[in-house]
Structure 1
Amino acid sequence: MSVLDKLKGMLKGHEDQAGKGIDKAGDMVDEKTQGKYASHVDTAQEKLKDQLGGQGQDSPPQ
C-alpha cells in the first residue's frame, strides 16, 4: 500500500477539511514567495485535491 493510499484512507469523510488545509498551505507559500510562483502553487493545489478526492474548484481564484 502506498503512502497516498494510506492518506486517502485517513482522509475519507474529511475531504473538505483536507481541501482547506491545502488552500492554507498554498496561501502560505504564496505569501513567503510574494506571489512569484502563484500559478505553480495553484496548479499543485488542484492536483493534490484531485489526488486526495477533494473538490477541485471549491474556492474562487484570487
Structure 2
Amino acid sequence: MGLLDKVKDLANKHDDKVDQGLEKVGDQIDTRTGGKFAQHVDKGVDEAQRRTGSGDTVQ
C-alpha cells in the first residue's frame, strides 16, 4: 500500500476529525482575510469535506 493510499484510508476512517480540521482552516482564512473571501472559502471547505470520507459530517 502506497503512501497516498494510506492517507486516503486514514481520512476515510477519521472523516469527522478531517471535517473539523477543514472547518478550522476555513475559519482561520476568514479571520486573516477579514471575511473578504468567505463565500469562496466556504465553498472550498464544503467541497473538500465532500471528498473526504463518506461526506460532510460537520453541521
Category of TM-score, reference length = shorter chain: 0.7 to 0.9
Poorly superposed stretches of 4+, deviation over 3 Å: none
Q: Which residue of 2 aligns with 1:16?
A: 16
Moved more, 34-43 or 6-15: 6-15
User: Which structure has more RCO (C-alpha within 8 Å, separation ≥ 6)?
Assistant: 2
Q: 2:13–2:53: 8 Å Cα contact kept in structure 1?
A: no
Question: Which residue does the alignment assign to 1:38?
Answer: 38
Distance verdict in 2 for CA 1:43–1:13, change over 3 Å: same
Preserved contact between residue 12 and residue 54 of structure 2 (Cα < 8 Å): no
CA contact (8 A) 1:46 1:57 kept: no
Secondary structure at 1:12 match in 2: helix
More helix as a share of residues: 2
Kindly provide the amino acid, as one letter, of the partner of residue 53 in structure 1: G
Task: Calculate the aligned-residue CA RMSD, in Å.
Answer: 2.1
Number of aligned positions between the proteins: 58
Q: Percent identity of the aligned residues?
A: 32
Question: What's the TM-score once normalised by structure 1's chain length?
Answer: 0.75
Shift of 1:9: 1.4
Match of 1:58 in 2: 58
